[in-house]
Amino acid sequence: MDSISTVNVVFVEPFFPRNQREFARGLAETGATVIGVGETPLWGLDDQLKGWLTHYEQVSSVTNVDAMTEVVRRIQSRLWVDRLEATIEAHTMAAAQVREATGIPGTSVRTAWLCRDKPSMKQALRDAGVPTAASTAAGTAAEAHEFAARVGFPLILKPRAGAGAADTMRVDDDDQLNRALLNYGRAGVGSIAVEEFVEGHEGFYDTLTVNGEVELDFVSHYYPNVLEAMRTRWINPQFVSTNRLDSVTEYDEVKEMGRRVVKALGIGSSATHMEWFFGPKGLKFSEIGCRPPGVGAWDLYSAGNDIDLYREWANAVVHGHVSTRPSRRFASGIVALRPEADGRVHGYSGVDDMQHRFGEYVIDAHLPHVNSPTQPVEAGYMANAYVRMRHPDYDTLRGMLDTVGQTLRVHAS
């Protein structure tokens, strides 16, 4: 890797979702040769994305290990492959298995497994002394009820390898537990993670690690916690990235916990997304993804810190170091705007007032056009309308996001 022009990177699924192109852009801007492998046919890629890719291979499924291994070996027959990178949760395990089969360095199968399988993750971290909620893997109703009898309600149930709040639920008694297990069974979920419910405020700690060391880090806060936000229509939820990470000592414990997690799980050079709770029982680790966060978090970090995180991720992959440090100049955040009903959007109110009062602090806004179909509340922060903002003062930004959430209405029926 003496010359940036000789670094060849296979990048998994550069086309979808849309921000995947930013990783391809970052790699190309570092001078890497970028070989895309994805499910979209070549003719479906736009010219801008094609310009960042030196070559592209279509595959039936990027999670089909045999098909991916065959494609990567075909690429290796033509040129040396230095790295194979995947940035979507569902792709990380297959990518690790392909690396192992083809001798490409990067996140190992063991690390990918520990970052995907929640019970195994929690056990490995407990063994390393990281404070986590009590948890188990339950493949039968008896196992789930035994854990409930031992730990007590409420409990959190989730798929062992799920991402975000998808299919995650809280149960408060045996009847709710039975109904939840029945629903998982109908959905074909054979084994689930069952966890102690941890009371407290929820946030996340995101890093870019290089050779096992955290080089860049960011902390964001959820308002309210994710499970409530994804289940309640009237709430316009937020997450907000703080610019006080280096100036407030209360974050030192979060940063230290994150470093211990990285070491315990054997993470080398990778983006990470870690979730945590802080409440009556102190700081508790929740879970980790060995990949960047979703819902545009890196865009907020970039806008708040005078940094191009996609480019810095590429620097870590290609050069083994980063070139820029976060400025911490702005706090940045998003407020999701829920339509008042499911159906189709028929208008907005409060947009002009928002622009008049806060226009200079708005990063961007997404307001689907009239007659657009709405998406369900549980689809997430960016599924419907949203506004992203930044401000030098964290508390002021929180107040502005609150005001936007209370006054900008999405009318639908």
Angle between helices 118-127 and 109-116 (to 10 degrees): 100
242 pLDDT more than 90: yes
Identify the pLDDT of residue 163: 59
- The architecture of the domain spanning 134-196 is 2-Layer Sandwich (3.30)
pTM of the model: 0.92
**pLDDT tens per residue across span 10-59:** 999 999 999 999 999 999 999 999 999 999 999 999 999 999 999 999 99
**pLDDT tens per residue across span 157-209:** 988 776 555 678 899 999 999 998 988 887 777 788 899 999 999 999 999 99
* Domain 201-412, CATH: 3.30.470.20
Q: Which residues pair with 171 in a beta bridge?
A: 155
Identify the pLDDT of residue 3: 38
* Domain 4-106, CATH: 3.40.50.20
* 343 class by beta-carbon count within 10 Å (0-12 exposed, 13-18 middle, 19+ buried): exposed
- How big is the chain by its Cα radius of gyration, in Å? 22
Instruction: For the chain, give the percent of residues with pLDDT over 90.
Output: 85
Query: At CA 295, angle to CA 154 and CA 50, rounded to 5?
Result: 145
Across the chain, mean pLDDT equals 94
Tokens in use for 312? 């810095």
**pLDDT tens per residue across span 265-322:** 999 999 999 999 999 999 999 999 999 999 999 999 999 999 999 999 999 999 999 9
**Any idea where the domains of the chain sit in the sequence?**
4-106, 134-196, 201-412
Per-position b or e across 155-167, b if 16+ CB within 10 A of its CB: bbbbbbbbbbbeb
397 three-state secondary structure? helix
Instruction: Give the chain's largest Cα–Cα span.
Output: 62
Identify the pLDDT of residue 5: 53
215 pLDDT more than 70: yes
Identical topology for domains 134-196 and 201-412: no
Tokens in use for 404? 């936007």
How many whole angstroms separate alpha carbon 21 and alpha carbon 15? 6
Backbone angles phi, psi at 317, to 5 degrees: -70, -45
Question: Using an 8 Å Cβ cutoff, are 99 and 127 in contact?
Answer: no
Sheet-wide strand order for 282-289: 282-289, 270-279, 201-210, 213-223, 238-241, 331-337, 385-391, 362-366
1 pLDDT more than 50: no
Look at residues 220, 227, 223, 200 and name the one whose alpha carbon lies nearest to residue 406: 223
Per-position b or e across 212-232, b if 16+ CB within 10 A of its CB: eebbbbbbbbbbebbbebbee
pLDDT top residue among 232 and 120: 120
395 pLDDT more than 90: yes
2 pLDDT more than 60: no
